[in-house]
Copies of this chain bind each other. A is one copy, B any other.
Amino acid sequence: MQTFFRYNWTVREQWYQWCEDVMYDELIRERTGGVGSILQTLFHIIDVEWSWIRILQGKPDFQEDFENYKTLDKLIELDLKFRPEVEEFVEAWNESMEKRPCYDPQPDGNVAIDAWGEVMRHVIAHQIHHMGQLSVWAREVGKKPISANVIGKGLIKLETKVEDNG
């Protein structure tokens, strides 16, 4: 689980850097699919990640309003504010938490019950999914998207096997 979160944070920071070379109009332009613009997608990723981690902890969630975070700097600031709490929760994650129930009230009044392991994977997949959308929009802007590769990022240290040729 930790590996995937580290992957997501690495790629997210690469997208922040990517945004630095793109005109603000392009970052904020309304696009087809997803939640709309490039910046709003990044905002949505940050917000959803934090919100779920709050819900799992039984802490009050609050809905941030994108209107207050419409620049790259403000988004990064928000991410930095939320990250320590998310990181602490992710680092403490272990197998025994996989099947715990998470109660998620629905707009229709019902309460969905998700396993914590489902929620954590939902958060992971949520970012990757939305960054797939960013990769299409990046080509619309005429700029190469950030690679979605998990390999090549040194996320897992290899086994160092001591050869015994004696």
Binding site for B on A (CB under 8 A): 3-4, 7, 31-34, 98-101, 104, 112-115, 117-119, 121-122, 124-126, 128-140, 145, 148-153, 155-159
Residues of B contacting A3 in the complex (Cβ-Cβ under 8 angstroms): 117-118, 121
State whether B118 touches A157 (Cβ < 8 A).
Answer: no
User: Can you offer 25 A-B residue contacts whose CB atoms are under 8 A?
Assistant: A3-B118, A7-B121, A32-B139, A33-B138, A33-B139, A33-B140, A34-B135, A112-B151, A113-B158, A114-B151, A114-B152, A115-B156, A115-B158, A115-B159, A118-B151, A121-B150, A121-B155, A122-B150, A122-B151, A125-B128, A125-B148, A125-B150, A129-B135, A132-B132, A132-B134
- Stoichiometry, copies per complex: 2
In whole Å, how far is A101's beta carbon from the nearest beta carbon of chain B? Answer: 5
In the complex, what distance in Å separates the CA atom of A157 from the CA atom of B99?
7
In the complex, what distance in Å separates the CA atom of A153 from the CA atom of B125?
14
Residues of B contacting A129 in the complex (Cβ-Cβ under 8 angstroms): 128-129, 131-132, 135, 148
In the complex, what distance in Å separates the CA atom of A103 from the CA atom of B56?
39
In the complex, what distance in Å separates the CA atom of A3 from the CA atom of B148?
20
Give the top 8 A-B pairs by smallest Cβ distance, nearest first. A132-B132, A33-B136, A115-B156, A122-B150, A129-B148, A33-B139, A99-B159, A128-B128
In the complex, what distance in Å separates the CA atom of A149 from the CA atom of B139?
25
Name A161's closest neighbour in chain B (CB-CB).
B101
In whole Å, how far is A138's beta carbon from the nearest beta carbon of chain B? Answer: 7
Residues of B contacting A150 in the complex (Cβ-Cβ under 8 angstroms): 118-119, 121-122, 124-126
